[in-house]
Amino acid sequence: MNIKPYYTALILAALSNICVASDITVANIEKDMQFLSSDELKGRLAGSPEIGIAEDYIATQFKQAGLQPLNGLSSFKQNFTLQRYVPDNISVKLNSNTIDNQFIAFSGSASSFEFNQDNANIKVVSQADDLRAELKHVNTNGGNNILLVNSAHKELFKRYKNHFAGGSQSNEKRKPATLVMILTDTVTIDEVLVSGSIQHLQQQLTNMIAVKPGSEKPNEYVVFSAHHDHIGTTANGEEDGIYNGANDDASGVSAVLNLARHYQNIDNKRSIMYVTFTAEESGLLGSSYFIKDIDASSIVAMLNIEMIGKPSEFGPGTFWMTGYERSNLAQILNKNLNAKEQQIFADPYPKYKLFYRSDNASLAQLGVPAHSLSSTQMSNDHDYHQVSDELATLDLPQMTQIVNAIAKASKSLVSGKDTPNRIEKVKPRATGLIF
């Protein structure tokens, strides 16, 4: 079966039922959601053939809304190469004893490696030591490293072992470096010999970007964004192994598309940029690449839309903002809303530190008033990152209320009337040299 014609027909069928008009309707949102969260897209894993189908759908929607590619791009697709490093095999001898693989965890970027006590950094992590702090130090400094980890850290060791087994990724090619952890109570090293290999793979990924130029302030941008990737499938033996990602974040993508339709025939003084990012689930990699080609000072505000398919604890059709107190963007948006009917609330889940866990963080660290808008009850959402995150679990009428509210709240930004203050820049987290 030739897969391309099949998915092309699927896209065309979805588009035939979408009305490109200024009204934000349940019908249009439902059609977007049916397509983006369908089983056929297999969870939209970054780099998969299926996420490419979602990207084609988004591109077609951008074109139908009369949008333009970003300056410097020939299409709505911003392509980039992700570097992936996947552990392959390893052998460790410690004081003449061969260590069983269950007691070894390793990560790095060297295609092959072999070193001993004479040419590696060796650290004994005692029961009283902070394993996370030691790993952070190693990851910041690179080189060849061996950590002898006391068995008191057994559970944390296992979590890192599982994490490392999935490989690591970065937007930049890393210099050869290796970390090997050995779970052992041995503290005296007479001899240690490590050898192994790590696969270096390259993966093509794509952000989707479209622009509606402003009539008076074309060099100032208001950004509406979401992420179109999710976490794929699982071979767990269950009948349903697809992480459809309906709420996370097909809901946000549908919001972006409907905002593009809404503003199609409305005069915008400032330029509007619509972005859907890839690889958010892999550590904000899409938005991290996006900022390389963007002048952050030209972005007046970013409204990142994340998981709006379920009613918030403040009531259906209401939503909250991460980093509420970091800028006056919420005050501007609320000024445009009817206080008796709808207001944007502060993030009610501060313990989750959500401000730096979504794509808004990549721009916020540069000083952009970039916030995420959500309605999901994070402390009580049993579908988050589960195969049960499907369209049937969502409340589309209340989601439509939210998208309409975002459109209304952002009018004074798009018209050029209001300009939020900048967020205090933060020092970017040090780039990991190993994992």
Per-residue model confidence (pLDDT) at position 236: 63
397-423 per-residue burial string, b: 16 or more CB within 10 A, e: under 16: ebbbbbbbbbbbbbeebbbbebbbebb
Per-residue model confidence (pLDDT) at position 19: 58
For 256, the token pair is 């972006």
pTM of the model: 0.88
Please provide the CATH number assigned to the domain covering 3-68+213-414: 3.40.630.10
Per-residue model confidence (pLDDT) at position 126: 97
Per-residue model confidence (pLDDT) at position 7: 58
Per-residue model confidence (pLDDT) at position 87: 97
Per-residue model confidence (pLDDT) at position 1: 42
Per-residue model confidence (pLDDT) at position 287: 97
Find out whether 192 and 122 touch, Cβ atoms under 8 Å.
Answer: yes
Domain ranges in the chain? Answer: 3-68+213-414, 83-202
Contacts of 308 (CB under 8 A, 6+ apart): 247, 251, 252, 255, 319, 373, 374, 375, 376, 399, 402, 403
131-148 per-residue burial string, b: 16 or more CB within 10 A, e: under 16: beebbeebbeebbbbbbb
If the chain, 435 residues long, is cut into consecutive pieces of 10 residues, what is the mean pLDDT of each piece? 55 58 88 98 96 98 97 96 96 97 97 96 97 96 97 97 93 94 95 97 97 98 98 78 97 98 96 98 94 94 98 94 97 89 90 95 97 96 96 97 97 98 84 91
